[in-house]
Structure 1
Amino acid sequence: MKLNPYLNFAGTCEEAMTTYAKVLGGEIVAMLAYGDMPGENPIPDDMRKKIAHARLIVGDQVLMASDAGPEHYKPMQGVSVTLNISEPAEAERVFSALVEGGMKIMPLEETFWAHKFGVLVDRFGTQWMVNCEKPKE
């Protein structure tokens, strides 16, 4: 069994997933717009180019997402996507890239358990925890 997050966006899914693929070094293997869905589903004009489903592969991990219609979208609350990164320099690079245009909640710094740990909300509204643990003794 594997768990993977499924993020919802208010119209920025394609940009967010493209950014995440670049920052995290992943590959987008699916990006389906509502207007390209099969069947006779009535799609409002303002949603035709929005993303119904996206799938990003990073190593053996998966991050999925879609754009929610305005009547269904709620900003993310009470959850973070955690990135466990083994090298401090890579943790710094990823944190800096994700926080660009967003907001730092906790700066990336040393803690009692980690070489680097920080929390941010990116410009798309996703909260991330970047963690670079110290080796267990």
Structure 2
Amino acid sequence: MQLDCYLNFDGKAEEALNFYAQCLGGKVSALMRYEGSPMDNKELPAAWKQKVMHGTVDADGAQIMASDVPPGMGGGGYKGFAVSVWIKDGVDRARKVFDALAAGGKVTMPFAPPFWGGHFGMLVDKFGVPWMVSCE
């Protein structure tokens, strides 16, 4: 089984995917636009034709997917969950990922050794997405 994260945005999916690719050391792939898709109809606002219908960031064998959700369809507004990333390459890389994701956002728990061991921190990124970053 593989469990993946799929985030919805109010028009900033491409910016978010590029940000996550940079933070996680990955690359954006499978970027599809609304234009030319079955969603490209008279109900789709013209400003949304170049928005992301689907996109993926691949990083170290993991992926995070996202799309822009047209107005009134429930994009963004994250509550009651967090994206969790476990960094296997050690504390230094985990701290770099944490600091990169926190840029422009808000740290809710500093990246430090918790009572259970390893290192752990929590943040809300500049797009409003909550994250937990941990390592051994």
Distance 1:99 1:40 in 2: 35
- TM-score if structure 1 supplies the norm length? 0.89
> Which of 64, 73, 77 is the equivalent residue of 2:79?
77
Distance 1:101 1:70 in 2: 25
* Change in 2 beyond 3 A, CA 1:39/1:71: closer
Distance 2:50 2:40 in 1: 16
Deviates more, 1:117-126 or 1:31-40: 31-40
Partner of 1:53: 54
Deviates more, 1:67-76 or 1:115-124: 67-76
Contact 1:84–1:130 at 8 Å: present in 2 too? Answer: yes
Q: Does residue 1:18 correspond to 2:42, yes or no? A: no
1:82 Cα deviation (Å)?
A: 0.6
Q: Which amino acid aligns with 1:104?
A: V
Distance 2:132 2:2 in 1: 19
Q: Structure 1, residues 66-109: CA drift from partner, whole Å, max 9, x if none?
A: 01112122401111111111311111111111111101111111
Partner of 2:107: 104
Q: Does residue 1:35 correspond to 2:35, yes or no? A: yes
Distance 2:128 2:56 in 1: 18
Q: Does residue 1:9 correspond to 2:6, yes or no? A: no
**Aligned residue-pair number:** 133
Q: Structure 1, residues 28-86: CA drift from partner, whole Å, max 9, x if none?
A: 12111111425763321121111110011112222110011121224011111111113
* Change in 2 beyond 3 A, CA 1:114/1:132: farther
1:12 Cα deviation (Å)?
A: 0.7
In structure 1, stretches of 5+ residues that fail to align are none
Percent identity over the alignment is 40
Q: Does residue 1:130 correspond to 2:114, yes or no? A: no
Distance 2:60 2:92 in 1: 19
Contact 2:34–2:40 at 8 Å: present in 1 too? Answer: no
The Cα RMSD (Å) is 1.6
